[in-house]
Amino acid sequence: MPNRSTDPPTAQRSTDPLDYQNVPRPLAAMAKEFADGHRIVRHSHARAQLIFAIRGVMTVSTEASRFIVPPQRALWMPGGMQHAIAMSGAVSMRTLYVQEKGARGLPGKCRVLAVSPLLRELIVRATALPVLYDEKGADGRLMQMILDEIANLPTVALDLPMPQDKRLLKLCHALIEEPADPRTLKEFAQESNASARTLARLFRTETEMSFGAWRQQLRLLEAVRRMAAGAPVTNVALDLGYASPSAFAAMFRKTLGVPPSRYFAQTAP
């Protein structure tokens, strides 16, 4: 998707991201609604983004990783990075577009961030401000507070590195389609004309994870996506191939620090 580098900035609210790339302000905020199942094709923006939704779950894919972004979480996306977005449930997206000078000191790579209740309310307020807000007044101070708050947000392990090797990609996409698939790496190797040792080595090299750790992370992300959509924890655990809800809860708590029953409640505004 091209950037309108020569277009004049608009002072009107818009649902077209291109209208926010050249606004002469450090921060531009856009509100947009999406239906369940809607997909935004691969594209990029000149500005860095904070991709956030007050309702619904987003799956954001880059060339190198997949990210699950449920409510109370946001994805920091550096400018110029190609990405696609898929919606699970009706999604109320609230996106911040950050000018290069405003992004100084913010992450240089994609990161899923835990959104504080304060930042959530600031983002909602930002989408109601004039596009050409008064930088020296209260609106400008609010926008600066948003940038300060983003810089202090903790990172959450809701990313899944994707390999580039075609054999591994085929394997990974099969598991993405069916996360509960119980096949071992040896069984997958028989279908890919490669040894299990070769695939294991490639997994380490290309994702910095073992096959087992990668599959566990995939299941974790899928669990978060389903739970955010309202699926019961017990159903999620069994559907994803865990022997029992308690085994799933132990993995969840070890990885994310809280039991699944409390994961969304802990940061709900």
| DSSP secondary structure letters along 70-89 | -TTEEEEE-TT--EEEEEEE
Q: What is the structure's pLDDT at 104?
A: 81
| Helix ranges restricted to H, 105-154 | 117-126, 138-151
76 close to 227: Cβ distance less than 8 angstroms: no
Distances (CA, A) of 268 to 2, 8, 201, 221, 236: 36, 39, 41, 19, 21
Q: Regarding beta strands 27-34 and 73-77, do their DSSP bridges make them parallel or antiparallel, or are they unpaired?
A: unpaired
Rounded to 10°, the helix 196-207/166-177 angle is 90
CA-to-CA distance for 7 and 21, rounded, in angstroms? 10
| Helix ranges restricted to H, 104-232 | 117-126, 138-151, 166-177, 185-192, 196-207, 211-228
- Domains in the chain, ordered, with CATH? 17-151 (2.60.120.810), 162-267 (1.10.10.60)
Burial of 202-211, coded b for 16+ CB within 10 Å and e otherwise, reads bbeebbebeb
Judged on CB neighbours under 10 Å (0-12, 13-18, 19+), 243 is exposed
Task: Show the low-confidence residues of the chain (pLDDT under 70).
Answer: 1-12, 265-269
With tokens 């073992």, the residue in question is 210
Q: Is the dihedral of CA 184, 187, 189, 191 positive or negative?
A: negative
CA-to-CA distance for 99 and 67, rounded, in angstroms? 23
